[in-house]
Amino acid sequence: MSAEHVTVLLNEAVAALAIRPDGVYVDGTFGRGGHSRRILGQLGARGRLIAFDRDPVAIAAGEALGDARLTLVHQAFSHFSEELDRLGVGQVDGVLLDLGVSSPQLDDASRGMSFRFDAPLDMRMDSSRGETAAEWLARASAQEIATVVREYGEERFANAIAKALVAARAGEPVTTTGQLAALVEKAVRTREPGQHPATRTFQALRIHVNRELEELSLVLPQCMARLGSGGRLAVIAFHSLEDRIVKHALRDAAHPDEPPAWVPVRASELPAPLMRTLGKPVRPSAAEVAVNPRSRSAIMRVAEKI
């Protein structure tokens, strides 16, 4: 059974967009519509919200709202510009990206994203297309598995986990979350107190199967290019790999190709910045974390188009 999804940084994220009643906004990750509902609540009759999501269940939840101002797009947000073109939308006034996996996806055993349930090892955010985690593990080499687990899970026992997986599949395919969790648990010698040995491996495989970091790297420049003057981009990340990509993209947009300090260049000759960052990164309050422990790792960065 899926737990109710609690929207992270709801007030802070929507406030960061500085909603104009007649504006055009994009929610790149509809989820269960927490942010979108709040945005719609601040839009007037002429306002418009375009919401992307890869998950067919999320799209169905959006359709149930029955709001004519809401346009749903069943696509990964890396198709941002392509889909806006299809919809006849040029510039937008704000974009919100709430990254990572949603609580309903984690809590639905059939999605195969959690080691808390023994279920088919799927892990796809879009269950209607693409390769499952089980299918990838069946064909990937030990080196490929180790690289994914090390880079996306920051797992120091990646080589041992990869060898264990390859040895196990020689006997029978690794097709369930329970099989995977048990294999990883045997391969990981030590783990931080309170953390399941398979936590990092499951995260790594989910990120890989869904191309989450590649998708993020692709969408950020598209978002910034489509924002009108004064338009806002707000991005909520949940782990260091995501946040690093966001931080570097915004930094590069705010300070493009700056030469070394000793190079004599006039200010007028420097490339113009595309964005300016607004304030410091925002984290959930202690009160929010107490109500929703899954929010504790969230960090939001906000920038404005110049």
The per-residue pLDDT for 1 is 35
- The length of the chain is 306
Q: How confident is the model at residue 3 (pLDDT cuts 50, 70, 90)?
A: very low
**Interval 190-213: pLDDT, tens:** 777 878 899 999 999 999 999 999
**Amino acid (1-letter code) at residue 26:** V
Chain-centre distance for alpha carbon 66: 26
> Does the pLDDT of residue 245 top 60, yes or no?
yes
The per-residue pLDDT for 35 is 96
Number of alpha helices (DSSP H) and beta strands (DSSP E) in the chain: 13, 7
CA-to-CA distance for 225 and 120, rounded, in angstroms?
40
> Does the pLDDT of residue 21 top 90, yes or no?
yes
DSSP reduced 3-state for 166: helix
Identify the structural domains of the chain with CATH numbers, from first to last: 10-103+212-305 (3.40.50.150), 127-209 (1.10.150.170)
Give the Cα-Cα-Cα angle 14, 98, 37 (nearest 5 degrees). 45
Q: How confident is the model at residue 101 (pLDDT cuts 50, 70, 90)?
A: confident
Residue 133: name the closest of 80, 78, 206 by CA: 206
> Does the pLDDT of residue 293 top 80, yes or no?
yes
**Interval 35-71: pLDDT, tens:** 999 999 999 999 999 999 999 999 999 999 999 999 9
The structure's pTM equals 0.90
